[in-house]
């Protein structure tokens, strides 16, 4: 199903979101002087989860680029599922993503990247809402033959031949 939906505001917000995540990634590297005083292994795990939160938006970008509303919805659903998995405390993954995405610091000056999940989920919900609305509108304007309504020729009687039935 192809459609021309304007996702410009959402894509701009996605670029801004990814930029802020990239800043968080950078702050877990030697770029941030205080990281030299802490465990490199701990920072590597944070970098892993931060990068994981943004590395797979290509499917969403392609679906938007090609007007594939079903693809947009599927991609957003996958990302929302992943973001919700990050909230699983005590995971058996390489490390617990909640150590990265926690909202409160346990030590003064400690980074808290919990905003990523909240902001990311809100943005993905906005994209999903717009795609769902577009799907609904697009479906309403399709005829059973599968042709869009603007491609169907309809014979309209001339006004002179219309009878008054009042």
Task: Please say whether the dihedral angle defined by the alpha carbons of residues 138, 141, 143 and 144, taken in this order, is positive or negative.
Answer: positive
**Backbone φ and ψ of 68, nearest 5°:** -90, 90
8 Å CB contact between 75 and 90? no
Count of C-beta atoms within a 10 Å radius of residue 31? 10
Mean pLDDT across 39-54: 82
Reference 18, options 74, 71, 58, 72; nearest CA is 58
Residue ranges per domain, the chain?
A: 8-161
Question: What pLDDT is recorded for position 115?
Answer: 82
Mean pLDDT across 118-122: 91
pLDDT tens per residue across span 94-110: 777 877 777 666 666 66
State the pLDDT confidence band at 4, using cuts at 50, 70 and 90. Answer: confident
Reference 85, options 130, 39, 120, 110; nearest CA is 120
Is the pLDDT confidence value at 147 over 70? no
């Amino acid at each position: 199903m192809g459609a021309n939906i304007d996702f410009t505001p959402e894509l701009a917000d996605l670029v801004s979101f990814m930029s802020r995540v990239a800043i968080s990634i950078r702050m877990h590297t030697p770029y941030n002087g205080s990281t030299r005083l802490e465990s490199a292994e701990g920072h590597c795990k944070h970098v892993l989860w931060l990068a994981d939160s943004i590395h797979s938006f290509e499917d969403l970008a392609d679906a938007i680029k090609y007007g594939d509303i079903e693809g947009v919805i599927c991609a957003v659903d996958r990302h929302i599922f992943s973001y919700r998995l990050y909230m699983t405390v005590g995971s058996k993954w390489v490390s617990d993503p909640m150590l990265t995405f926690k909202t409160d610091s346990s030590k003064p000056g400690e980074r808290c990247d919990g905003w990523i999940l909240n902001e990311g989920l809100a943005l993905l919900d906005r994209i999903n809402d717009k795609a769902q609305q577009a799907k609904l509108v697009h479906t309403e304007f399709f005829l059973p033959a599968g042709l869009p309504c603007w491609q169907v020729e309809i014979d309209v009687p001339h006004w002179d031949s219309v009878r008054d039935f009042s």
